């Protein structure tokens, strides 16, 4: 591919996000031998140290410093990228809440194709790209084909392109701040409100009984509570349970909730979306109980039971009690 | 506040086992349970609540066929004032950009201060809202879980990683994609559906929207789905089989071995 590949770098507190190295790996899968250019926006000393850190993995780092860039506001960064990216560029983004905010509109403004939430690349023939992604909450995958000749904005699912070692690219940092000019936006960042702390810290628990949509109703929670009590475990949950206000947000496992690292994770009626699994670290022993044999959780669990949790779990609880 | 909410009729992936048709060009759709996309339902509820507070009206729009009418009617039963159907064979096979182009034409046929979409739908692309905003040249925010109306602008919250909330101010008119959990969508009963059963829902095709049909649909799509497939199962889970009794006994042994029983 002739087009230059760029990677947008997220960073915080002077450190590049894990996705910075994943994007290097993704660029290599997209076009073996490619030398992607890192694009970093920010302000102050944190920006400087991130840029230096990135020179280990990227041969070239474009730095954009400005007061309005201290927090990444996608509405401002879209304007910036439109000014500085050459026509026909390919931009890799992490498929995070920032990537989702920036990518679709940027692709339209660049007149480039948008390829969201990519899990793998399946060949690039000239400008014709094939990519793999999922639909229907991970139940099926699909191949997409698109023409990147006018450029592409590609958001990459976290964890799908394992980061290599930072390497010794010995890259150089180019300060491109002078190219930014005026950056006006009709959306202003105000502040980040930290998530509330709950009564129980699920991030510190070794054994979690985690409840998903399959629990069906708030009335059914004693089924999970009783099992957790018998096991000496704590109850956590997936997103739909919090949306329904059945449990507090502080009990939610996932990218939009808590990142947990238990030894044993019992997933009851949880489909296993990538956002949920993204919150589960440390390679726990995963047991999945789900009535849908096609649920994606069975791809990642160690042990699976196809059953209605409302029927299966009470029997399991009784047996555990009896075994004590 | 005049609010347009974009909704989609989708197979309910929580209730369905998705299987592929022979040839894998599509999924088997005949026996699927369809409903309104979950995120869209939150968007409609939010629009209704905003109008309850500050006045105005809510219009629910969908692109589809006659079958999509049921979701528009359902959202009207929730309390949306108007429905709008965008129906034309030329729309079939549109990619995200095509869908956004059709919606843009509909937005420009009306007078709206605010357009809401769901944060994502069945294909998980999370793209149409952002594309629509760019085409309209309106500001955009995704994954919104709080909206407060101020003078000519909104104070909004975006759900970001870790469940934190990013607060922004955004000028009207704007496009927002709505995250689940922003509210508790009201229940719609049979009686509510009956009440709106005979309300006329206007239908617009490409010509009525002033759209060049060459710019939308399958032929214009720059991102095309080649096929569906089910990835070869990796190691996958060891599936426990037998009677409930046997399964529970096996599971207890495994949990004991792994330190799952205290």
Identify the pLDDT of residue A164.
84
φ, ψ dihedrals at A6, nearest 5°: -115, 155
The model's pLDDT over B83-103, given as tens digits with 9 standing for 90+, comes to 999 999 999 999 999 999 999
Please tell me whether residue B154 adopts helix, strand or coil conformation.
Answer: strand
Q: pTM score, two decimals?
A: 0.94
How many beta-carbon pairs under 8 angstroms link A with B?
A: 270
ipTM of the complex: 0.94
Residues of chain B positioned with their CB less than 8 A from the CB of A113: 222-223
Cα B98 to Cα B92: distance, rounded to the nearest angstrom: 10
Q: Which of B225, B14, B120 is nearest to A95 (CA)?
A: B120
Looking at residue A1, its pLDDT comes to 47
Taking an 8 Å cut-off on Cβ atoms, the answer to whether A136 and B236 are in contact is: no
**Are A145 and B224 inside 8 Å of each other by CB?**
yes
Distance CA(A151)–CA(A88), nearest Å, equals 4
Instruction: Find the mean pLDDT for residues A149-157.
Output: 97
Q: pLDDT tier at B232 (50, 70, 90 boundaries)? A: low
The share of chain B scoring above pLDDT 70, in percent, equals: 98
The CA distance from A252 to A260, in Å, is 10
Average pLDDT over residues B220-238: 85
Question: Are A19 and A8 contacting, i.e. CB atoms less than 8 angstroms apart?
Answer: no
- Whether residue A106 is predicted with pLDDT greater than 80 in this model: the reply is yes
Concatenating the DSSP letter of every residue in A154-199 gives EEE-TTSS----------EEEE-GGGT-----SEEEEEEEPPPP-S
In angstroms, the separation between the Cα of residue B47 and the nearest Cα of chain A is: 18
Given this model, what pLDDT does residue B213 score? Answer: 87
Mean pLDDT computed over B188-194: 91
Helices A309-323, A221-231: axis angle to 10 degrees equals: 30
Mean pLDDT of the B43-58 span? 98
Q: Using the beta-carbon criterion (under 8 Å), do A206 and B259 form an inter-chain contact?
A: yes
User: Lowest mean pLDDT: which of A101-115, A119-133, A143-157, B89-103?
Assistant: A119-133
| Average pLDDT, integer, range A2-7 | 91
Partner-chain residue, chosen from A96, A145, A316, that has the shortest CB–CB distance to B161: A96
Report the first-to-last Cα separation within chain B, whole angstroms.
Answer: 56
Chain A, window 69-108: residues with a beta carbon less than 8 angstroms from a chain B beta carbon: 73-75, 96-98, 100-108
Annotate B17-49 with b (16+ C-beta within 10 A) or e (fewer).
ebeeeeeeeebeeeebebbbbbbbbbbbbbbbb
Residue A118, token pair as written in the block = 């990519």
Residue B24 has pLDDT above 90, yes or no: no
- Is pLDDT at A139 greater than 80 in this prediction? yes
Q: What pLDDT digit, counting tens, does each position of B106-155 carry?
A: 999 999 999 999 999 999 999 999 999 999 999 999 999 999 999 999 99
B215 vs B224: CA distance, rounded Å:
15
Q: Which pLDDT tens digit goes with each residue over A266-289?
A: 999 999 999 999 999 999 999 999
Question: How far away is chain B from the Cα of A214, in angstroms, using its nearest Cα?
Answer: 9
Across the interface, whether the CB atoms of A271 and B14 are under 8 A apart is answered yes
Q: Which helix (H) or strand (E) holds B172?
A: none
If DSSP codes are grouped into helix, strand and coil, which group holds residue A231?
helix
Q: Note the Cα B223 to chain centre separation in Å.
A: 20
Any idea what DSSP says for residue A223? H
Of A146, A231, A240, the CB nearest to B260: A231
A54 CA: distance to closest CA in chain B (Å): 23
The sign of the torsion formed by the CA atoms of A293, A294, A295, A297 equals positive
- Across the strands, what pairs with B140? B175
Instruction: Write the pLDDT tens digit of every residue in A9-58.
Output: 999 999 999 999 999 999 999 999 999 999 999 999 999 999 999 999 99
pLDDT higher than threshold 80 for residue B231: no
What is the average pLDDT value for chain B, to the nearest integer? Answer: 95
Instruction: Look at residues B113, B84, B111, B4 and name the one whose alpha carbon lies nearest to residue B48.
Output: B4
Nearest-Cα distance to chain B for A2, in Å, is 19
Phi and psi dihedrals of B191, rounded to 5?
-65, -40
Does A149 lie at the interface with B, CB-CB under 8 angstroms?
Answer: no
Q: DSSP secondary structure string, A36-86? A: PEEEEEE-HHHHHHHHHHHTTT-SEEEEEE-GGGSS--HHHHHHHHHHHSP
Average pLDDT over residues A111-123: 96
Residues in Cβ contact with A180 at an 8 Å cutoff, skipping those fewer than 6 apart: A64, A66, A80, A83, A84
- Closest chain A residue by Cα to residue B252: A320
Neighbours of B201 (CB within 10 A): 15
Q: Which of B133, B240, B261 sits opposite A305 (nearest CB)?
A: B240
What number is the average pLDDT over the span A240-254?
A: 95
Shortest alpha-carbon distance between residue A324 and chain B (Å) = 10
Say whether pLDDT at B234 is over 70.
no
Nearest C-alpha in B relative to A107: B131
**Average pLDDT for chain A:** 94
Nearest residue, CB atoms, A299 vs list B165, B233, B259: B233
Going by their DSSP bridges, the two strands A60-65 and A37-42 should be labelled as parallel
């Amino acid at each position: 591919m002739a087009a230059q590949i760029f990677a947008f770098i997220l960073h915080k507190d002077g450190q590049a996000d894990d996705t910075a190295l994943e994007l290097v790996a993704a660029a290599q899968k997209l076009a073996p031998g490619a030398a992607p250019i890192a694009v970093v926006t920010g302000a102050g000393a944190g920006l400087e140290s991130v840029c230096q850190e990135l020179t280990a993995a990227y041969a070239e780092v474009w730095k954009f410093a400005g007061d309005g860039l201290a927090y990444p506001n996608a509405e401002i960064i879209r304007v910036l990228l439109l000014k500085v990216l050459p026509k026909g560029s390919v931009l890799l983004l992490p498929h995070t809440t920032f990537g989702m905010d920036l990518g679709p509109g940027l692709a339209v403004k660049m007149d480039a194709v948008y390829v969201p939430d990519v899990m793998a690349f399946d060949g690039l023939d000239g400008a014709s790209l094939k990519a793999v992604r999922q639909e229907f909450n991970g139940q099926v995958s699909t191949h997409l084909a698109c023409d990147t000749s006018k450029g592409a904005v590609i958001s990459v699912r976290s964890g799908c392109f394992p980061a290599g070692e930072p390497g010794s690219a010995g890259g150089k940092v180019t300060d491109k701040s002078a190219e930014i000019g005026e950056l006006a936006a009709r959306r202003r960042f105000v502040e980040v409100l930290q998530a509330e702390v709950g009564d129980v810290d699920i991030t510190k628990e070794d054994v979690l009984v985690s409840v998903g949509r399959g629990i069906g109703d708030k009335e059914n929670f004693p089924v999970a509570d009783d099992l957790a009590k018998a096991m000496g475990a704590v109850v956590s949950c997936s997103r739909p349970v919090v949306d329904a206000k059945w449990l507090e947000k502080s009990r939610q496992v996932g990218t939009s909730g808590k990142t947990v690292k238990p030894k044993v994770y019992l997933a009851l009626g949880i489909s296993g979306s990538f956002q949920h699994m993204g919150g589960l670290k440390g390679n726990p022993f995963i047991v999945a109980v789900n009535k849908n044999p096609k649920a994606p959780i069975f791809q990642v669990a160690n042990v699976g039971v196809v059953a209605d949790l409302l029927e299966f779990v009470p029997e399991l609880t009784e047996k555990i009690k009896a075994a004590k | 506040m005049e609010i347009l909410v974009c909704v989609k009729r989708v197979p309910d992936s929580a209730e369905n086992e998705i299987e592929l048709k022979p040839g894998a060009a599509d999924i088997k759709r005949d026996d699927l349970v369809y409903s309104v996309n979950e995120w869209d339902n939150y968007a409609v509820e939010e629009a209704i609540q905003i109008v309850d507070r500050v006045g105005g009206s809510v219009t629910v729009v969908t692109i589809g066929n006659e079958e999509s009418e049921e979701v528009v009617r359902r959202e009207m039963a929730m309390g949306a004032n108007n429905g709008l159907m965008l129906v034309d064979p030329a729309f079939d096979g549109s990619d995200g950009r095509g869908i956004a182009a059709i919606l843009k034409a509909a937005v420009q046929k009306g007078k709206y201060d605010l357009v809401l979409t769901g944060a994502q739908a069945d294909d998980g692309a999370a793209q149409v809202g952002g594309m629509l905003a760019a085409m309209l040249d309106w500001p955009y925010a995704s994954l919104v879980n709080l909206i407060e109306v101020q003078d000519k602008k909104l104070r909004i919250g975006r759900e970001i990683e870790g469940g934190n909330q990013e607060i922004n101010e955004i000028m009207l008119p704007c496009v927002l994609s709505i995250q689940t959990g922003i509210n508790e969508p009201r229940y719609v009963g049979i009686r509510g559906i009956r009440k709106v059963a005979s309300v006329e829902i206007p239908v617009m095709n490409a010509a009525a929207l002033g759209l060049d049909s060459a710019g939308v649909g399958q032929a214009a799509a720059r991102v095309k789905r080649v096929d569906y497939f089910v990835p070869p199962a990796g190691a996958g889970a060891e599936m426990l089989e037998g009677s409930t009794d046997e399964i529970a006994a096996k599971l207890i042994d495994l949990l004991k071995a792994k330190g799952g029983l205290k």
